[in-house]
Structure formats: C-alpha cells, structure tokens
C-alpha cells in the first residue's frame, strides 16, 4: 500500500494486476508462480480436492468439462489425471482447428470422460451437449464469461441436467474478488483481461477495493 501512496492509484494499475495475477495463481497451484520460493511447493490443496472429486464422478458415468484460464494449470491437471488413470482431452487457444474439431467429436462420441478447456478455447462455436458436469477450476470473475463457458454444455440438444461446480479457495483473493464482483461488474472484466480494452479512465481500484483484496488472511 505504501507503493500506491507514493505513485497514486492510476499509476499503480499494472503493478496491482500483476500482484493479483500471482495471488490467483497461488490459489490454483503454487507451481504456476515463477518465483524461487514457489518452486519449492509441490502440493496444491485445490488440485488435491479435484483429484478427490473426479474418480467418483467418472465412476458414475458423468461427462465432465473442466475450465481454467491458465493453460499451464490444464497441463498440471492433465498430469494428475494420467496418474489417476483417467482418460482426458485438452483444448486450448493453441489447438489447431482440425485437431479441435476431432477432439470435440471424440468427446461427443463418449470416447473420454473428461475434457480440459482453456478460457480462450471456450468461446463461441463450441457445442458439447454430451457433457453433464462443468467444473470451474479457477473462477472467471467476469460472470458473463463464466456463464458462456457453462453454456458449452447448455446447448440445444442437451437432454440431461447439467451440474456446475466452482472451486474457490476459502479466505483468499478468490473469495474477495467474487465479493467485489457483486458491486463492481467492470472490475471483474478488468482483472480477467489484464486491464485491456477498458473504455473508462481512472484507476482500476479504489482504496476500499485494495484494502479488501490485499488484506491479511
């Protein structure tokens, strides 16, 4: 906060977004944070929770979509699924069009129970009506984007109810941004998109926002 007092809120936006990014990454898995101290951590409570949740869902024959904003997190989840012997497919913004089409078809045919999908790949034109379970590994703090991701399973032709899980670390920045989301819709989009494409002028956060986001746990 002393940095903000010195430079002001408007000039501190990039620094604040970078700090929020790292806090969000820590919630997902400390290995996402490119820092020497984080590299020594080999466990993620959230990833372990997912590993506990998935086997029973797969055993029940559920068809599962797992969304994350971080493609590196999808790689870590994929590694965990391989160790559990759970077949899966992955779709990111870097997946070539022909491969994307084939993987969607594979999932729709029921060849694998789990589909890992990144934020960039989960936009328009993705129809996954065989899915009946959606897991948001890290909250997409723009509610419209999160709803769009869930909507991949809620398409015309869906015959089954769709169950949605949101994995949120208690007492962390994830809970706090979700709280801010209810009163600052524009803040959620700015945090998610790194501040790009903002139409309004001025700082992303006011002092009350920052006090909430960076308060000690």
Mean pLDDT check: name the lowest of 1-15, 16-30, 56-70, 190-204.
190-204
203 shares its domain with 182:
yes
Q: Is 113 in the same domain as 80?
A: yes
Per-residue confidence band for 179, with pLDDT thresholds at 50, 70 and 90 = confident
37 and 55 belong to one structural domain: no
- Check if the beta carbon of residue 118 is closer than 8 Å to that of residue 94: no
Torsion of CA 179, 182, 186, 190, to 10 degrees: 30
Q: Which domain holds residue 112?
A: 45-166
Same domain, 63 and 155: yes
Which pLDDT value is given to residue 184? 59
**End position of a domain, from candidates 128, 149, 166:** 166
Rg over CA atoms, the chain:
18
Regarding whether 158 and 82 lie in a shared domain, the answer is yes
Tell me what pLDDT residue 199 has. 43
Residue 85 maps to which CATH number?
3.40.50.300
Give the number of other Cβ atoms within 10 Å of residue 100's Cβ: 16
Same domain for 134 and 49: yes
Residue 194 predicted with pLDDT over 60: no
> Tens digits of per-residue pLDDT, 114-165?
999 997 786 666 888 899 999 999 977 667 777 788 888 876 566 778 899 9
| Model confidence at 81: pLDDT above 90 | yes
Residues 94 and 138 reside in one and the same domain: yes
- Looking at the structure, tell me whether residues 32 and 118 fall in a common domain: no
Q: Is the pLDDT reported for residue 41 higher than 80?
A: no
pLDDT given for residue 211 in this prediction:
66
What is the share, in percent, of the chain residues with pLDDT greater than 90?
42
Average pLDDT of every residue of the chain: 80
Task: Based on the fold, state whether residues 26 and 108 are members of the same structural domain.
Answer: no
Cβ(106)–Cβ(89) below 8 Å = yes
Within a 13 Å sphere around the CA of 27, how many CA atoms are in the beta-carbon half?
Answer: 25
Q: How many folded domains does the chain comprise?
A: 2
- Mean pLDDT for 8-14 is 55
Q: Which of 45-54, 131-140, 188-197 has the lowest mean pLDDT?
A: 188-197
Contact 65, 115 (CB under 8 A): yes
pLDDT at 49: 95
Considering the domain architecture, whether residues 84 and 32 belong to the same structural domain is answered as: no
For residue range 99-109, list pLDDT tens digits in order: 999 999 999 99
pLDDT at 155: 67
Looking at the structure, do residues 71 and 151 belong to the same domain, yes or no? yes
Nearest-CA neighbor of 205 among 16, 7, 2, 3? 16
Co-location of 22 and 61 in the same domain: no
Distance separating alpha carbons of residues 87 and 4, to the nearest angstrom: 47
């Amino acid at each position: 906060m002393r940095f903000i007092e010195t430079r002001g809120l408007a000039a501190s936006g990039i620094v604040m977004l970078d700090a929020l990014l790292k806090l969000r990454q820590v919630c997902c898995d400390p290995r996402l944070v490119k820092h020497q101290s984080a590299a020594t951590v080999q466990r993620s409570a959230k990833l372990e929770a997912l590993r506990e949740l998935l086997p029973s869902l797969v055993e029940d024959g559920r068809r599962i979509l797992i969304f994350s904003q971080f493609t590196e997190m999808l790689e870590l989840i994929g590694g965990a699924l391989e160790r559990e012997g759970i077949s899966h497919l992955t779709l990111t913004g870097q997946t070539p069009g022909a491969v994307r089409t084939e993987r969607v078809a594979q999932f729709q045919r029921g060849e694998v129970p789990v589909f890992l999908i990144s934020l960039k790949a989960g936009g328009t034109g993705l129809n996954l009506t065989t899915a009946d379970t959606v897991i948001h590994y890290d909250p997409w703090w723009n509610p419209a984007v999160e709803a769009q991701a869930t909507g991949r399973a809620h398409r015309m032709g869906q015959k089954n109810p769709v169950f949605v899980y949101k994995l949120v670390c208690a007492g962390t920045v994830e809970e706090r941004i979700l709280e801010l989301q209810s009163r600052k819709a524009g803040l959620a989009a700015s945090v998610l998109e790194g501040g790009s494409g903002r139409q309004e002028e001025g700082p992303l956060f006011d002092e009350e926002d920052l006090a909430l986001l960076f308060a000690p746990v």
